[in-house]
């Protein structure tokens, strides 16, 4: 069986590949694609795989954009960190899904469903578009872009590209996925209300962090937590012991 993985987190993609190949030695992972652009290009140039495992939020957009651009009959198993409301949308649209963090028993269940039905997990492209509309509506109440002033230009920064927000000495900075930082005119309190709380967490008085860019969490002094992101922050991101339980629950969602 030919499988394609669409996932921008290399560690997650490799873990999923190992799970799949360990479960069934007839599974061949033909490609691991890390963006909307690369996945769209690959699917246009190659025969459709037997099965696709796809993250929803990629670095350059939502994976739904891929399937809007490329008509494929391959069944899609979406990997998601969305909440119960979105899960009901997945179920009603007859698309299988895996909740992050993905575990091997969950992958086995998806494969069992595929083998048992021996039909597409999605009956047509309309299901993907229905999900896209639902998730866009869920997110519409929150800021999608933040304007920053940079070298006499005004640049829109997509919120999904923000690794973390840092407040220091009266200024607030956005640190982005491409390791750039920008000063913004908002206070950190204003940004906290503008951003989707499913994706962003107010770590402390200095930091707001993006769920998608957390790479590691370590125990710190006095039951605090030390959070690491893809790019190194200007100072340690510490979650206080009072907030720590809520933070860990948020990370698991």
Q: Look at residues 120, 139, 158 and tell me which one is the last residue of a structural domain.
A: 139
Q: Which of 139, 158, 183 is the last residue of a domain?
A: 139
The CA distance from 20 to 8, in Å, is 17
Residue 79 is predicted with a pLDDT of 79
Sign of dihedral through CA atoms 43, 44, 50, 51?
A: positive
Note the pLDDT of residue 131. Answer: 61
Q: Do 86 and 171 share a domain, yes or no?
A: no
Are 180 and 78 in the same domain? no
- Of 76, 105, 139, the position where a domain reaches its end is 139
Residues 74 and 167 in one domain: no
Entry pTM:
0.50
Range of the domain at 27: 2-139
* Residue 10 shares a structural domain with residue 35: yes
Instruction: Answer yes or no: do 80 and 185 share one domain.
Output: no
Regarding whether 179 and 89 lie in a shared domain, the answer is no
Give the 3-state secondary structure percentages of the chain, helix then strand then coil, rounded to 5. Answer: 35, 30, 30
Q: What's the rounded Cα separation, in Å, for the pair 101 and 108?
A: 14
Q: With the CA atoms of 93, 96, 98 and 103 taken in that order, what torsion angle do they form, in degrees rounded to the nearest 10?
A: 160
CATH code of 73's domain: 3.40.50.2300
Tally of structural domains, the chain: 2
Same domain? For 183 and 80 the reply is no
Q: Do 57 and 171 fall within a single domain? A: no
3-state secondary structure of 84: helix
- Looking at residue 120, what is its pLDDT? 45
CATH number, domain of 168, equals 2.40.50.1020
pLDDT, residue 89, reads 47
Residue 169's pLDDT is 93
Query: What is the full per-residue pLDDT of the chain (253 aa) written as tens digits?
Result: 899 999 988 888 999 999 999 998 889 999 999 999 999 999 999 998 988 998 887 877 778 788 878 887 788 888 766 554 455 545 544 356 666 677 788 788 877 777 766 544 444 455 666 666 655 555 556 788 899 988 888 999 988 889 999 999 999 999 998 889 999 999 999 999 889 888 899 999 999 999 889 999 999 999 999 999 999 999 999 999 999 999 998 888 6
Instruction: Check whether residue 132 and residue 153 sit in a common domain.
Output: no
230 and 114 within one domain: no
- State the pLDDT at residue 7: 92
Q: What is the pLDDT of residue 82?
A: 58
Q: Are 113 and 39 members of one domain?
A: yes
CB 143 within 8 A of CB 159: yes
Same domain, residue pair 122 and 154: no
């Amino acid at each position: 069986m030919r499988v394609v993985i669409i996932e921008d987190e290399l560690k997650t993609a490799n873990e999923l590949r190992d799970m799949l190949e360990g479960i069934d030695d007839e599974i061949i992972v033909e490609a691991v694609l890390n963006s909307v652009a690369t996945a769209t290009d690959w699917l246009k140039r190659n025969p459709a795989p037997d099965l696709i495992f796809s993250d929803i939020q990629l670095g350059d957009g939502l994976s739904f954009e891929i399937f809007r651009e490329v008509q494929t009959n391959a069944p899609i198993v979406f990997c998601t960190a969305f909440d119960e409301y979105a899960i009901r949308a997945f179920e009603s649209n007859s698309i299988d899904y895996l909740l992050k963090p993905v575990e091997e028993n969950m992958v086995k269940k998806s494969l069992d469903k595929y083998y048992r039905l021996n039909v597409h997990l999605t009956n047509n492209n309309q299901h993907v578009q229905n999900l896209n509309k639902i998730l866009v509506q869920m997110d519409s109440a929150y800021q999608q872009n933040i304007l920053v002033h940079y070298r006499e230009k005004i640049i829109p920064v997509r919120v999904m590209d923000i690794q973390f927000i840092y407040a220091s000495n009266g200024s607030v900075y956005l640190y982005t996925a491409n390791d750039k930082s920008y000063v913004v005119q908002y206070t950190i309190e204003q940004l906290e209300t503008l951003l989707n709380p499913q994706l962003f967490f107010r770590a402390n008085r200095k930091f707001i962090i993006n769920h998608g860019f957390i790479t590691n969490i370590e125990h710190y002094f006095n039951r605090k937590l030390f959070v690491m992101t893809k790019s190194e922050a200007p100072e340690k991101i510490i979650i206080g012991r009072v907030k720590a339980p809520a933070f860990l629950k948020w990370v698991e969602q």
